[in-house]
């Protein structure tokens, strides 16, 4: 009798704490309020001379049996063109501040070899250099974003690189470019002046870097109609002192953008955990680490607003994504990790954050494009596979250059062991044809979440959507099973005049077109 009474009391207490039916959350879309444009450059990518990102991932050489155009893989180009990638950052990363561009021009057989001291200690033969990178960008129809060497280079070296690429006239660098087979200059707008100069780019103080930046940026000149968008090497994560120092000491006419790097890690930099074998607690910590991006963007923007209230300087999140331990048996310096449904959720959350901060975030680059960290593509010999993160970018591309629609809602909580994080993230936009798109993530791995989308000043004629989800968070695509996790049409919604009721599957990314 006592045991039965105790069991009843436990049941009643549990019922009091957990509602039998959760009320749908309401998301309000103010379609008549569109003040900012979501820059297409938020959907940028990053390719560093690291592991098999360039060699094997992008570049195989003209003599390779793998189908290629002037040495660049045809399958990779086709897959990236589907995403309409807006810009591509190169050659690093840490590699940028030990890269000397003149080693990568001219006949390939005459280019000097070097050791890639940052990434794996392997030989870099410089067969993929300036001409090859800009050929890749032309094949992709994307804008180049070149990161110059401030750490171990010189003002003269970067100045001459800009001249070599963009000057349409008579000069030693323009003549050298023509000698190497390119008569007309390229248009290259985006230039990074160093990378992570607080760390691998020279271990500098913010004050020292600010002075160096002004020297380098002064001599990175505009030629002809090519107008440079100069990007200063900004802070890591929550280093607000670095941001304030740069904003206070660098004239705004010399700086168009300030970079920010933040990686999602589950534990710490010594032990980052497995990309595929993780507990729910580790998954929860991954989502929590990702959501901190909103705080960093908000607080760095607040600092920037003090010195740049007109928001002329863009916040450039040119390295973001997950960082786990490398796959067993691979070179630790190659940073190869698998890509699961967990990574897809991280991508969706980050992109929603960047969209929401479209007033200040102007460029972002996921790290990295092929075979490294949170890659969107894997290659192995002649094989290629799309990762879950690839499908997120494919669904979210509808936001490129669209008008941001303010979204207001209170997210349900994802609770684990007494800790909680918002389960749902969202962003919305209106494109030039008048279509409204909303992207949603549900980070709760157990619960389907019901939402009511309240549309203000907008009456949709119809609704369609795509969804990415998986039975297990650790599921991923392999060369043998390339379509385990992929986007499919989403139909779990109902249109009622000016509202849409939606049921988000557990652990899912959804895009809806209204």
Catalytically active residues, by annotation: 196, 319
Q: Bridge partners of 419?
A: 416
DSSP string, 238-264: T-HHHHHHHHHHS-GGG-SEEEEEEEE
Is residue 281 within 8 Å of 417, Cβ to Cβ? yes
Is residue 103 within 8 Å of 199, Cβ to Cβ? no
CA distance 499 to 29: 10
- Angle of CA points 37, 396, 86, to nearest 5°: 65
Give the Å distances, CA to CA, from 7 to 10, 14, 105: 5, 11, 77
CA distance 298 to 300: 6
What is the DSSP secondary structure assignment for residue 412, as one 8-state letter? Answer: P
CA 132 to chain centre: 23
Q: Which residues contact 497 (CB under 8 A, 6 or more apart)?
A: 459
Q: Which residues contact 170 (CB under 8 A, 6 or more apart)?
A: none
Q: Which residues contact 452 (CB under 8 A, 6 or more apart)?
A: 24, 25, 26, 27, 499, 500, 501, 502
For the four alpha carbons of 106, 107, 108 and 111, in that order, the dihedral sign comes to negative
CA distance 514 to 219: 48
Burial bucket for residue 126 (CB in 10 Å: 0-12, 13-18, 19+): buried
Residue 291 CB coordination number (10 Å): 18
From the list 136, 197, 190, the residue with the least C-alpha distance to 363 is 190
């Amino acid at each position: 009798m006592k045991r039965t009474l105790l069991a009843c009391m436990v049941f009643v207490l549990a019922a009091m704490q957990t509602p039998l039916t959760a009320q749908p959350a309401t998301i309000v879309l103010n379609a008549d309020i569109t003040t900012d444009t979501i820059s297409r450059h938020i959907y940028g990518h990053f390719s560093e001379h690291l592991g098999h990102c360039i060699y094997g991932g992008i570049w195989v050489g003209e003599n390779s049996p793998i189908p290629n155009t002037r040495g660049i893989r045809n399958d990779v180009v086709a897959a990236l063109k589907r995403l309409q990638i807006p810009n591509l950052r190169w050659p690093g990363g840490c590699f940028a501040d030990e890269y000397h561009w003149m080693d990568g021009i001219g006949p390939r057989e005459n280019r000097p070899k070097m050791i890639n001291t940052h990434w794996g200690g392997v030989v870099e033969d410089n067969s993929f250099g300036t001409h090859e990178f800009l050929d890749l960008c032309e094949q992709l129809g994307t804008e180049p974003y070149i990161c110059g060497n401030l750490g171990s280079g010189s003002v003269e070296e970067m100045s001459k690189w800009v001249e070599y690429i963009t000057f349409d006239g008579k000069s030693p660098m323009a003549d050298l470019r023509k000698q190497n087979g390119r008569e007309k200059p390229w248009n290259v707008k985006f230039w990074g002046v160093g990378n992570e100069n607080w760390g691998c780019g020279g271990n500098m103080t913010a004050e020292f870097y600010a002075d160096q930046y002004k020297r380098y940026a002064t001599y990175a000149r505009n030629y002809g109609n090519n107008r440079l968008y100069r990007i200063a090497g900004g802070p890591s994560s929550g280093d607000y002192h670095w941001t304030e120092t740069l904003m206070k000491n660098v004239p705004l006419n010399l700086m168009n953008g300030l970079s920010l790097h933040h990686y999602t890690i589950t534990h710490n930099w010594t032990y980052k955990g497995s990309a595929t074998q993780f507990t729910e607690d580790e998954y929860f910590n991954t989502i929590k680490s990702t959501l901190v991006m909103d705080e960093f963007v908000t607080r760095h923007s607040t600092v920037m607003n003090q010195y740049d209230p007109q928001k002329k300087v863009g916040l450039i999140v040119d390295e973001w994504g997950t960082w786990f331990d490398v796959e067993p048996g691979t070179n630790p310096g190659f940073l190869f990790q698998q890509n699961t449904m967990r990574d897809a959720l991280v991508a969706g959350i980050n992109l929603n954050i960047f969209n929401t901060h479209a007033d200040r975030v102007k460029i972002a680059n996921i790290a990295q494009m092929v075979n490294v960290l949170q890659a969107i593509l894997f290659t192995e010999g002649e094989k290629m596979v799309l990762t879950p993160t690839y499908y997120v970018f494919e669904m979210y591309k509808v936001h490129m250059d669209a008008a941001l629609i303010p979204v207001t809602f209170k997210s349900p909580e994802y609770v684990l062991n007494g800790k909680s994080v918002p389960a749902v993230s969202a962003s919305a936009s209106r494109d030039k044809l008048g279509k409204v798109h909303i992207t949603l993530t549900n980070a709760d791995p157990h619960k389907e979440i019901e939402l009511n989308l309240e549309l203000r000043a907008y009456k949709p004629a119809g609704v369609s959507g795509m969804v990415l989800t998986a039975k297990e968070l650790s599921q991923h695509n392999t060369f043998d099973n390339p379509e385990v996790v992929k986007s499919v049409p989403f139909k779990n919604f109902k249109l009622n005049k000016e509202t849409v009721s939606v049921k988000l599957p557990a652990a899912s990314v959804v895009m809806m077109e209204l």
